Structure 1
Amino acid sequence: MLPYRNLAEAEVVLGRNLTAAETFWFHYSASMPDYLLFYHNIAFLFVIFTLVPLPMAVAELIRPSTIAPFKLQPKVALPPSSFLKCYKVVLRVFFFVVGPLQLISYPSVKLVGIRTGLPLPSAWEMAAQLVVYFLVEDYGNYWIHRAMHSKWGYEKIHHVHHEFTAPMGFAAPYAHWAEVLVLGIPSFIGPALVPGHMVTFWLWIALRQIEAIETHCGYDFPFNPTKFIPFYGGAEYHDYHHYVGGQSQSNFASVFTYCDYIYGTDKGYRFQKAHLAKLREQWTAEEHNGIDISNHIGKIE
Structure 2
Amino acid sequence: MIPYATAAEAEAALGRAMTWAEAAWYQYSAAMPDSWLHCHTTFILFVIYTITPLPLVVLEQFAPSVVLPYKLQPRVRLPLAASLRCYMEAACFFPLAVGFQLVSYPVAVKQILRTRMGLPLPSVREAVAQLVVYSLLEDYLSYWIHRLLHTQWGYEKIHRVHHEFTAPTGFAMSYSHWAENLLLSIPALSGPVIVPCHITTQWLWFSIRLIEGINTHSGYHFPFSPSKLIPFYGGAAYHDYHHYAGGHSQSNFAPLFTYCDYIYRTDKGYRYHKLKQAKLKSLEENNAEKKGGTTAFDIGKD
Q: Determine if the TM-score, normalized by the shorter chain, exceeds 0.5.
A: yes
1:1-301 map, 5 Å: 1-96=1-96, 98-106=97-105, 107-111=107-111, 112-290=113-291
- Label 1:205 to 1:219 Cα distance change in 2 as closer, same or farther (>3 A): same
Q: TM-score normalized by structure 2?
A: 0.93
Partners of 2:147 and 2:102 in 1: how far apart?
29
**Cα pair 1:142 1:254 within 8 Å, conserved:** yes
Partners of 2:130 and 2:266 in 1: how far apart?
28
**Cα pair 1:11 1:18 within 8 Å, conserved:** yes
SS in 1 for 2:247: helix
Q: Larger Cα Rg: Structure 1 or Structure 2?
A: 2
- 1:245 aligned partner, one-letter code: G
SS in 1 for 2:281: helix
Q: CA deviation at 1:2?
A: 1.1
Provide, for residues 173-225 of structure 1, a one-character-per-residue CA deviation record: whole Å limited to 9, x for no partner: 00001111111111110001111111000111111111110100000001124
Q: CA deviation at 1:150?
A: 0.5
Provide, for residues 214-245 of structure 1, a one-character-per-residue CA deviation record: whole Å limited to 9, x for no partner: 10000000112453111111100000000000
- 1:167 aligned partner, one-letter code: P
Partners of 2:103 and 2:182 in 1: how far apart?
13
SS in 2 for 1:66: helix
Q: CA deviation at 1:284?
A: 2.0
SS in 1 for 2:197: coil
- 1:153 aligned partner, one-letter code: G
Q: CA deviation at 1:93?
A: 2.9
Q: For residue 296 of structure 1, what is the aligned residue in structure 2?
A: none
SS in 1 for 2:174: coil
Partners of 1:216 and 1:103 in 2: how far apart?
30
**Cα pair 1:41 1:102 within 8 Å, conserved:** no
Partners of 2:104 and 2:286 in 1: how far apart?
59
- Label 1:104 to 1:226 Cα distance change in 2 as closer, same or farther (>3 A): farther
- 2:93 aligned partner, one-letter code: V
SS in 1 for 2:168: coil
Please list every run of 5 or more consecutive structure 2 residues that lacks an aligned counterpart in the other structure: 294-302
- 1:43 aligned partner, one-letter code: F
**Cα pair 2:115 2:199 within 8 Å, conserved:** yes
- Label 1:202 to 1:100 Cα distance change in 2 as closer, same or farther (>3 A): same
- Label 1:156 to 1:85 Cα distance change in 2 as closer, same or farther (>3 A): same
Provide, for residues 275-298 of structure 1, a one-character-per-residue CA deviation record: whole Å limited to 9, x for no partner: 211222233233223369xxxxxx
Q: TM-score normalized by structure 1?
A: 0.93
- 2:235 aligned partner, one-letter code: G
- 1:84 aligned partner, one-letter code: L
- Label 1:105 to 1:204 Cα distance change in 2 as closer, same or farther (>3 A): farther
Partners of 2:159 and 2:100 in 1: how far apart?
20
Number of residue-to-residue matches in the alignment: 291
Partners of 2:104 and 2:64 in 1: how far apart?
41
CA RMSD of superposed structures (Å): 1.5
- 1:123 aligned partner, one-letter code: V
- Give the % identical residues: 57
After alignment, is 85-94 or 165-174 more displaced?
85-94
